[in-house]
């Protein structure tokens, strides 16, 4: 199984290492930053390509999408149109534009997809889901959830001002 990891910042690198630890060996990395790709090849020995079309020419079975949020949908749509199963880092997108088209492409090509969410199995949200499922809290009419991170501590070796999380996009 060939797996393409698209976007190789900190989470993309983590996915590559996790895939290697699970004994996946047919991996290809793509990022817009050539220095990042050089480091990936040198540090963990994963083949990289410098253009997104080179990824599709390699005909991956799975695409792991870790690009900045505003680029998720475009990459996922292309992956699905190429017959790739997709794992997309949270959130799926910053708008609803393209979501129905992605769902249609996944269905038409009988593909598996998943949005990664590190809070999916956290006991707090799991308990809220349990209460909703068993009717303990009645029928919700509205919900508001706020979560955040203190960016200077998020990635201490990186200037948080330069991260996509600090970008208005």
Contact 165, 154 (CB under 8 A): yes
Q: How confident is the model at residue 140 (pLDDT cuts 50, 70, 90)?
A: confident
Closest CA to 56 of 6, 103, 20: 6
Average pLDDT (126-141) is 90
Distance CA 58, CA 72 (A): 20
* Both structure tokens of 23: 């004994």
Lowest-confidence pick of 61-65, 88-92, 146-150, 160-164: 160-164
Q: According to CATH, where is 3.40.50.720 located in the chain? A: 3-116
Q: What is the DSSP letter of 69?
A: G
- What string of DSSP letters covers 116-134? E-TTTT-HHHHHHHHHHHH
The CATH number given to 3-116 is: 3.40.50.720
* Both structure tokens of 136: 């303990």
Q: What is the DSSP letter of 71?
A: G
**H helix or E strand, kind and range, residue 15:** helix 10-21
Q: How confident is the model at residue 169 (pLDDT cuts 50, 70, 90)?
A: low
Reported residue count of the chain is 169
pTM: 0.79
Report pLDDT digits (tens) over 72-123: 999 999 999 999 999 999 988 889 999 999 999 999 999 999 999 877 788 9
């Amino acid at each position: 199984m060939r797996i393409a990891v698209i976007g190789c910042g900190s989470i993309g690198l983590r996915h590559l290492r996790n895939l290697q630890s699970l004994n996946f060996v047919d991996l290809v990395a793509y990022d817009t930053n050539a220095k990042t790709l050089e480091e990936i090849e040198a540090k963990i020995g994963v083949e990289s390509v410098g253009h997104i079309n080179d990824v599709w020419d390699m005909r991956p079975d799975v695409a792991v999408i870790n690009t900045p949020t505003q680029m998720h949908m475009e990459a996922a749509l292309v992956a699905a149109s190429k017959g790739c199963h997709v794992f997309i880092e949270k959130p799926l997108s910053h708008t609803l534009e393209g979501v129905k088209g992605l769902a249609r492409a996944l269905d038409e090509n009988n593909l598996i997809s998943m949005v990664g969410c590190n809070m999916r199995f956290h006991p707090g949200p799991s308990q809220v889901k349990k209460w909703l499922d068993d009717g303990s809290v009645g029928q919700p009419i509205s919900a508001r959830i706020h979560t955040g991170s203190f960016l200077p501590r998020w990635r201490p070796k990186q200037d948080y001002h330069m991260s996509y999380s600090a970008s208005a996009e």
